[in-house]
Structure 1
Amino acid sequence: MNRISATRSELLARRAGIRLAIQGRDLLKEKRTALMREFDRLSADAVAAMQDLEEKARRARASLSEAVALEGPEAVGSAALAARNEIGVRLTAKSVAGVKIVDLEHDPVGRARTDRGYSLAATSPRIDTAAEGFETVVEVLLDFVAVELSLRRLAEEITRTTRRVNALEHVVVPRLEKERDFILNVLNERELENRVRLMRARSRTDERARQTGGLAERSPA
């Protein structure tokens, strides 16, 4: 505090700084509220998607196990190699309180039996069922990836915003208020001292005036 210049301009600067810090804190709180609202919405979607993914993956694994057991691992492996395919994906984004929320669009994953590349004569419906099950799993997984990425970005930004809110609320604003109060106290003390000096000066002036008046009355005409 000893380095602070206790002047009116510094007092005004501290008051302006406090107003600005409070405004910034309030804006950050509004941003955090918007981010948390979007996070809650996506979290509900993510939980539903995860449950759906787990169920579809369980069914797909059961279909695969059945196909391997009845058709043999070589037949299933050969069909899997023949069915390999690329899936086109496109990322788009929207901004929520300055955070990019990802949306992933992709080509259809599911295919007809005749489009999977393996010989229908050399395979059975069990392999078709397993292929269809895992195509469904991949489709749900692609949808889930975009949600998970958005959730991570939102969580990181919520954490950063919370740190900034806490810094303003518990460090910056209290420090500025303490400096403001210090400057105000010093200025008030100075004003009080000036008033006391002024009163003393006036008292001395009045006393001299009375003494001068008394001497004038006693002097001969």
Structure 2
Amino acid sequence: MEQVNPTRMELIRKNAQIKMAEQGRDLLRQKMDVLIREFFLVMESFSRSRDELEAVAKDAQRSLLLAEAVEDPITLKSASFATRKSLMLEVRGRNIMGVPVPVIEKKRVSKNVLERGYGIVGTSGRLDEAAEKFEVELDMLIDLAEKETAMRRIGAEIQMNRRRVNALEQLMIPELKSQARFIKISIEEREREDLFRLKKVKKILERKKINSESYD
């Protein structure tokens, strides 16, 4: 146990520390409850989006295979190079109980036929269909990345809060209470000793008084 000064002022200070530590623990528990609820909401949305993405990815792959079957390989390759463009994303944040999570602002990847960059003449509708489905897949990938990052950050905050709660519950609060008990016991023991000494002194004084009166 940490060396403590067994005084009433120290006991008051320890009791105040216990109260503060318990309030901190309760606040952390409340924060953790909110974060856990938010985590499961995001996780459910993430699971749904992932299942949808798998279906869209398979559909897009089938469309690409069909396009490869009907398109001239050179035309297909040229079209793929023509559609290569940078994707501008703007990431801002929102706050969930002190945890910053990303919100990706973007223009939709999906484009119309004229915006894709390859010529309409000489290409079939299969190519347009494949391009459209891969654009939808990319949109969904960006959305999924946002949700996964949020899950990771909220999950990390939950773990950190759980460690803090455990440290308060299992280490700090029991140690403070142990110190407070030690101080209280020490004060009570000292008061009993003082009372015993006072009684002893009182008896001695009374005896002296009796002896003094008998001499008179």
TM class by shorter-chain length? Answer: over 0.9
Question: RMSD of the alignment, in Å?
Answer: 1.5
Runs of 5+ consecutive residues of structure 1 not aligned to the other structure: 217-221
Matches within 5 A, 1:33-72: 33-72=33-72
The structure-2 alpha-carbon separation of the partners of 1:2 and 1:170, relative to structure 1 and needing over 3 Å to count, comes to closer
Q: Deviations over 1:18-51 (max 9, x none)?
A: 1111111111111111211211111111111111
Q: Deviations over 1:181-200 (max 9, x none)?
A: 11111111111111111111
Matches within 5 A, 1:67-146: 67-146=67-146
Give the Cα separation in 2 of the matches to 1:77 and 1:170.
64
- For this pair of structures, how many residues does the alignment match? 216
Structure 1 residue 200 and structure 2 residue 200: aligned? yes
Give the Cα separation in 2 of the matches to 1:82 and 1:2.
72
Q: Deviations over 1:159-185 (max 9, x none)?
A: 111111111111100010111111111
- In the TM superposition, residue 157 of structure 1 has moved relative to its aligned partner by 1.0
Structure 1 residue 27 and structure 2 residue 34: aligned? no
- In the TM superposition, residue 14 of structure 1 has moved relative to its aligned partner by 0.9
Please report the TM-score for the alignment, with normalisation by the length of structure 2.
0.94
Give the Cα separation in 1 of the matches to 2:56 and 2:134.
8
Supply the AA of the counterpart residue of 2:151.
Answer: L
- Equivalent position of 2:190 in the other structure: 190
Supply the AA of the counterpart residue of 1:113.
Answer: V
The structure-2 alpha-carbon separation of the partners of 1:2 and 1:88, relative to structure 1 and needing over 3 Å to count, comes to closer
Supply the AA of the counterpart residue of 2:3.
Answer: R
- In the TM superposition, residue 202 of structure 1 has moved relative to its aligned partner by 0.9
Give the Cα separation in 2 of the matches to 1:123 and 1:158.
53
Supply the AA of the counterpart residue of 1:137.
Answer: E
Supply the AA of the counterpart residue of 1:212.
Answer: S
- Equivalent position of 1:168 in the other structure: 168
Greater Cα radius of gyration, structure 1 or 2: 1
Give the Cα separation in 2 of the matches to 1:44 and 1:172.
36
Please report the TM-score for the alignment, with normalisation by the length of structure 1.
0.92
Structure 1 residue ranges (4+ consecutive) displaced by more than 6 angstroms after TM superposition: none
Give the Cα separation in 1 of the matches to 2:78 and 2:141.
24
Q: Deviations over 1:74-100 (max 9, x none)?
A: 332221111122332222221111111
SS in 1 for 2:117: coil
Supply the AA of the counterpart residue of 1:160.
Answer: M
Give the Cα separation in 2 of the matches to 1:121 and 1:127.
12
